[in-house]
Structure 1
Amino acid sequence: MSFVALAQFFARDVPGLAAGPDGADLVQLLRCPLTHGRHLERRYLLRWRYATSTESTGRFLTAAPEVPLLPWEHELPEPCVLHPEQVDTYPWAEDDTLPAALIARIDAWEDAQTAEGGRDAPSYQGALSIPPGWRVGGFPSWASTGPMDITCACAAPMRLLLTAEGYEMDADSHSWMPLEDRDPSLQGMASIQGGQSVTQPTRLRFGRDRDLHVFTCLTDPGHPPRWVLS
């Protein structure tokens, strides 16, 4: 069974994309179309390549690969083009990801926002620190698991290479929504204009609507990556 291609990123298009082993400048994310084990786990594959060699016309396929038979619609990605945008992000505020005094200030600010604006009030995690959707670099979100210490098998620390997420926007991410895709007079999900093609352009899901974080070794990017659903 062939892996299904989910995304590819060229270093020339994505500022800050971590270099691959031996200077590889193209990274591809793939997923096995089958589930594995009694927990129906997913298996992913990270491939590093050189843009100059992959873009040679002699390597292009003459026919598109046959689409595998998949049980669910969200298993097959919707073809789309990425338009990277560089934004400032900040760490998840929990445990020791930030100084305790700063987390206490964030909590107090969120309480005040909720008291004033109700359930659609902005939060640090959703509206200010980490954008939803596909992203390269930055900080991981830990909504489902809480902060985790990610280390390589060689004991070296690992950095976040990329995050794959099914939804590009949600009720808690009003500040990240493109202006052309929202009604500024509304908040939360009600403000989103355009339906599924806007909120879920790739049509993919990861786990139970979680983020798939891909970490690579800081010492040697050729070491096996780690996959974390959070």
Structure 2
Amino acid sequence: MGLAQFFRRDIPGLACGPGGADLVQLFRCPFTHGPYLERQYRLRWRQAEQTEHAERFVTAPPEVPLLRAEHELPEPCVLHPEEVDTYPWAEDDPLPASLIARIDAWDDAQVAEHGPDAPIYQYDLSIPPGWRVGGYPSWASTGPMAVDCASCATPMRLLLTAEGYEMDAGSHSWVPVEDRDPTLRGKASIRGGQSVAQPTRLRFGRDRDLHVFTCPADPGHSPQWVLS
């Protein structure tokens, strides 16, 4: 089942695939596997020029199998990429301890001045929620971890992140202006409710982020999938 496809011409920061491939597609098996009900994903790289000039296209998508829940089937939607500055997760290894201490002190000062709705680094300034290409991984559920290539042990690079929600109560500053009621905060501030907050209708794990890592030394090496 296709979840997404990205062209480098639309997203300059998108890494190249094997042989300079400039189109990447993300697929997920619609069924769970094994005793732990694990998901299986596949990353497929293509040359955009070759696919756009192909002699034959699928005229109709494959039939969707019977699924257990509505969130198993993606809602078709078009991406409108926006470039933003992101910063590392402020816990353990991604940043020096001295810098994390300064961030914690700044957070405490913001809460003391503005109350519980004050902006904080981790949720309002560092990493946006939702689907994103590149940048830094969020580690809200697992804590930071090293992700090395299984083939050559090179530290892997975050290719893309998939998430069920584009906005949530803990990241008010990332809600697009056109979807936000400036007089409110949290989920109550989202104009349009659930359909705006969760446009793809998908869920990953227990509402966690699916991080897709690739090897910068050789993009042909197998990617890694991390739920965090």
**Structures share fold, TM-score greater than 0.5:** yes
Supply the distance in 2 between the matched residues of 1:209 and 1:113 (Cα, whole angstroms). 28
Q: How does 1:11-22 map to 2 (within 5 A)?
A: 11-22=8-19
1:58 maps to which of 55, 58, 62:
55
2:142 maps to which of 141, 145, 157:
145
Per the alignment, in what secondary structure is the counterpart of residue 49 of structure 2?
helix
Supply the distance in 2 between the matched residues of 1:181 and 1:59 (Cα, whole angstroms). 40
Q: Is the 8 A contact 1:36 1:42 kept in 2?
A: yes
Supply the distance in 2 between the matched residues of 1:119 and 1:35 (Cα, whole angstroms). 39
Aligned to 2:205: 207
Amino acid of the structure 2 residue aligned with 1:108: A
TM-score by length of 1: 0.96
2:154 maps to which of 156, 168, 174:
156
Supply the distance in 1 between the matched residues of 2:22 and 2:66 (Cα, whole angstroms). 32
Per the alignment, in what secondary structure is the counterpart of residue 213 of structure 2?
strand
Aligned to 1:171: 169
Aligned to 1:189: 187
Supply the distance in 1 between the matched residues of 2:139 and 2:201 (Cα, whole angstroms). 22
Amino acid of the structure 1 residue aligned with 2:46: R
Supply the distance in 1 between the matched residues of 2:95 and 2:42 (Cα, whole angstroms). 32
1:100 maps to which of 97, 100, 104:
97
Supply the distance in 2 between the matched residues of 1:85 and 1:44 (Cα, whole angstroms). 25
How many pairs are equivalent? 227
TM-score by length of 2: 0.97
Q: Is the 8 A contact 1:120 1:172 kept in 2?
A: no
Supply the distance in 2 between the matched residues of 1:62 and 1:199 (Cα, whole angstroms). 31
Supply the distance in 2 between the matched residues of 1:146 and 1:64 (Cα, whole angstroms). 38
Q: Is the 8 A contact 1:123 1:172 kept in 2?
A: no
1:132 maps to which of 120, 129, 133:
129
Per the alignment, in what secondary structure is the counterpart of residue 59 of structure 1?
coil
Return the offset for 1:88. Answer: 0.4
Per the alignment, in what secondary structure is the counterpart of residue 168 of structure 2?
coil
Per the alignment, in what secondary structure is the counterpart of residue 116 of structure 2?
helix
Return the offset for 1:57. Answer: 5.2
Per the alignment, in what secondary structure is the counterpart of residue 65 of structure 2?
coil
1:46 maps to which of 24, 43, 46:
43
Matched, 1:23 2:38: no
Return the offset for 1:117. Answer: 3.3
Cα deviation digits, residues 111-153 of structure 1 (max 9, x gap): 1222333332211111000000000000000000100011001
Matched, 1:112 2:109: yes
Return the offset for 1:174. Answer: 1.0
Supply the distance in 1 between the matched residues of 2:127 and 2:119 (Cα, whole angstroms). 13
Q: Relative to 1, partners in 2 of residues 1:189 and 1:116: Cα closer, same or farther, differing over 3 Å?
A: farther
Supply the distance in 2 between the matched residues of 1:35 and 1:114 (Cα, whole angstroms). 42
Return the offset for 1:110. Answer: 1.2
Structure 1 segments unaligned to the other structure (5+ residues):
none
Amino acid of the structure 1 residue aligned with 2:85: D
Amino acid of the structure 2 residue aligned with 1:178: P
Q: Is the 8 A contact 1:91 1:140 kept in 2?
A: yes
Q: Is the 8 A contact 1:21 1:48 kept in 2?
A: yes
Supply the distance in 1 between the matched residues of 2:36 and 2:162 (Cα, whole angstroms). 21
Q: Is the 8 A contact 1:136 1:161 kept in 2?
A: yes
Supply the distance in 2 between the matched residues of 1:118 and 1:188 (Cα, whole angstroms). 14
Aligned to 2:65: 68
Aligned to 2:78: 81
Per the alignment, in what secondary structure is the counterpart of residue 154 of structure 2?
coil
Range moving further from structure 2, 134-143 or 112-121: 112-121
- Percent identity between matched residues is 78
